[in-house]
Amino acid sequence: MKYLYVINWKMNMSFNQSINFYKNNKNILEQLSNQFNEIIICPSFDALATISALLTTSTVKLGAQNCSEYPSGAYTGEVSVQSLAEIGITHCIVGHSERRTYFKETIETISKKIALLYQYKVQPIICIGQTTQAYQSKNTPAILEQQLASILTIVPPNQPVIIAYEPVFAIGTGMIPQQDHLENTFTWLAQYIKKNLAHNSFQLLYGGSVNPTTINTLKSISCINGFLIGSAGTDREKLQKIISEQ
């Protein structure tokens, strides 16, 4: 089955490590993406322009991990969506739980980023999720609805939507939610988005401890169109196993 794989290198690799990882694994990434998968690698800002120049003839795509909520101006240390678009970035992760937790990003900030990304034709990969406590309270749809409702209203007509569901307790822990929780959540997400979007062009990703041990279970869940991969994305062997798993 064809899946979308978004590989988030976070700040796990330095500039040199990112470039070397790409160069050393270029052929295998190319081969895996040619087998009908869509692969997007997301290095940190510093490596984007260099890797973009290396990807010109590749089917592998390039994403950023973040962007500024402001279009341009006196915002020291920020990177604009316009700059990302100019260097050939096609996708950008927004609203990752690490940004919500450590950098206090709010729905308002995330919404501004999403609107700018659509304006510059960079596809947002919008992360939503819930805490362990919320997971245990079995209230997932209500919590996700709070995050999704305003976001869906800013999607321009006919533009595709990519949503990544990432339960916080699953990120970097090796644990994934119960299978029935995943089935119910992804079925709910698909129905909710269909109901609230004027078109049907959306993809649902799962993120959080996607690795060679969990991928089999994850690929058995209906309505999952792809995966957001963190730590396993810095290990060629693990990545190959995840993508090749049928």
Question: Which of 172, 200, 217, 244: binder of ligand PGA (CB under 6 A)?
Answer: 172
> Which of the residues 69, 91, 96, 98 is marked catalytic?
96
Rounded to a whole number of angstroms, the minimum distance from the CB of residue 57 to ligand PGA is: 28
b or e along 132-161 (b: 16 or more beta carbons within 10 Å of the residue's beta carbon)? eebbeeeebeebbeebbeebbeebeeeeeb
Crossing angle of the two packed helices 15-34 and 45-54, in degrees rounded to 10: 50
Site mask, ligand PGA, residues 7-26, x = CB under 6 A?
A: -x------------------
By the 10 Å C-beta count (0-12 exposed, 13-18 middle, 19+ buried), 246 is classed as: exposed
Catalytic (active site) residue 166: yes
Question: Which of 160, 231, 240, 241: binder of ligand PGA (CB under 6 A)?
Answer: 231
Rounded to a whole number of angstroms, the minimum distance from the CB of residue 197 to ligand PGA is: 23
By CB under 6 A, residue 66 contacts ligand PGA: no
Catalytic (active site) residue 96: yes
By CB under 6 A, residue 129 contacts ligand PGA: no
Nearer to ligand PGA, 12 or 196 (CB): 12
By CB under 6 A, residue 230 contacts ligand PGA: yes
Q: With CB under 6 A as the contact rule, which of the stretches 54-62, 184-192, 194-202, 225-233 interacts with ligand PGA?
A: 225-233
Beta bridge partners of 207: 228
Q: How many residues bind ligand PGA (CB under 6 A)?
A: 13
Q: Which residues bind ligand PGA (CB under 6 A)?
A: 8, 166, 171-172, 207-210, 228-232
Active site residues: 96, 166
